[in-house]
Structure 1
């Protein structure tokens, strides 16, 4: 019997993913039908992106699982018509891309590179940065992306603290959790990286109260989700000097409107949601591996906890 796989994403992605998915499914030894148009009651798996247009899963009565191409699932996790397992994208290509971006911007702040790149004023100020063990970094969120970034920074010798909702244990990283742990993590963070999911519990994690806990002049890096930060509170903290600089890759509204104050603020670096992209070759293999697991009766990997939203 054929396994019917529906591809539901932006049309321009189909010619990219089709040969990669066909290759992976063939390598898995599956008899399959992969297409962008299959009768709903015949679909076994949906390869899915929220911007592909599919919102109502009720007609897909034979559906076994939805396999997301995105790491973030906030746009689908609350869909009441989706009653089968939802797997988010955890892909080593995406993880490596995020790790490289985070490490790059942490090093940029750590070494004071902005001053030397943008300020060529003829003034000789030989201030050398501290060594990595003397720089305190905090990673908020220790999922696959956060853990990878924390490990990489710890390998470089940074003093790394990680915070998560529940207790974690990562060699070389001081792991804290819960409300008390969050306050402790923030109170010593010279550079803070946000890699939390977007859920009701994480909205405005950085707000006026929590920003005030950071050491004066702390730097913020947000490649996670826009709603993690209260924008007004951050702008106020930047203007007062409580926060020294912020590098922001994600926003509540994207593209970031041209009149948004972040664009013109001298203490904000805006990057256009490029911290990490899903890499089709590796993402397709993740999808195919999960379909093979499902057909073999094995548990799917990276299944979303619908109550928690990630």
Structure 2
């Protein structure tokens, strides 16, 4: 088995070493412009357009992250090349921690207490309880399910919106597109903290604009750990400005790094992180990927196979 690692950063060597420790029987190279030795499989992130021209005999491409638009948007991606993505591998736990931190900060009014401390004010604020903070999971994939399960165990009411109603969890109130056009509005209206986990596809691009975000109850919050293109920035900022929304925690953006002049940098209701809510842990991910590679090479079924028509 010959594998080529393609990664637009210093991490290429780390992935080569991590995979090499798991697949001692494989020959693993790092792709660079001009490297045209034919490989069976490719592993990596955001391959340059030239990559697929240099590697026309690939049997499959394995994405080192849960998202795959970095591959699907490649103009030279062969139409029939299978794409397999990593699943969780430790990212779910990171997502849970990220969302817990933000919800607790809002629920316990930590920003208000910080402002009072700065002003020298001693004033206990009204208490808030978890049952008053229903969370809404948009995108109930591997990571979304992990967060839904954790928040339900913590005692929060949990809503979820899905394309189908195949998911069964007695602790999650499910809203499904197949059950009627009114399901999305009902999901939004029942949610105090919207958490976005869905992939970026033609169906989800610009999904959360001013109109749809206004379906949330007044005083609601938004967490986006999926992709920046799901939210229309102008709509979110408008609702933060007029008080309909109380806050937003954003880890992903339409343009990354975020331009210096963007209003998110200075908006008092926005908290930002630089796409770090869940970073693929190389060791566990390499172990998972090695197993997928072995199974695929042996013509055995693998999970994480991307359906191009859906975009994930």
User: What TM-score comes out, normalization by structure 2 length?
Assistant: 0.91
Q: 1:41·1:62 contact (CA, 8 Å) conserved in 2?
A: no
Q: What does residue 187 of structure 2 align with? A: 185
Specify which of 93, 96, 99 is matched with residue 93 of structure 2.
96
Shift of 1:169: 1.9
Output one character per residue of 1:123-153: Cα deviation in whole Å (capped at 9) or x when no partner. Answer: 3332343321232111111011111111111
Q: 1:208·1:233 contact (CA, 8 Å) conserved in 2?
A: yes
Specify which of 139, 159, 162 is matched with residue 160 of structure 2.
162
Q: What does residue 306 of structure 1 align with? A: 308
Q: What does residue 140 of structure 2 align with? A: 142
Correspondence 1:34 to 2:34: no
SS at match of 2:149: helix
Correspondence 1:176 to 2:175: yes
Q: How far apart are the structure 2 equivalents of 1:36 and 1:126?
A: 58
Q: Which runs of 5+ in 2 are unaligned?
A: none
Shift of 1:56: 4.7
Q: 1:138·1:185 contact (CA, 8 Å) conserved in 2?
A: yes
Q: What does residue 108 of structure 1 align with? A: 105
Q: Which runs of 5+ in 1 are unaligned?
A: none
Q: How far apart are the structure 1 equivalents of 2:248 and 2:40?
A: 44
Change (3 A) 1:196 1:251: same
Q: How far apart are the structure 2 equivalents of 1:206 and 1:169?
A: 26
Q: What does residue 67 of structure 1 align with? A: 62
Q: 1:93·1:282 contact (CA, 8 Å) conserved in 2?
A: yes
Change (3 A) 1:33 1:85: same
Change (3 A) 1:194 1:134: same
SS at match of 1:266: coil
RMSD: 1.9
Q: How far apart are the structure 1 equivalents of 2:37 and 2:10?
A: 25
Which runs of 4 or more aligned residues in structure 1 lie more than 4 Å from their structure 2 counterparts after TM superposition? Answer: 37-41
Q: What does residue 72 of structure 2 align with? A: 77
SS at match of 2:214: helix
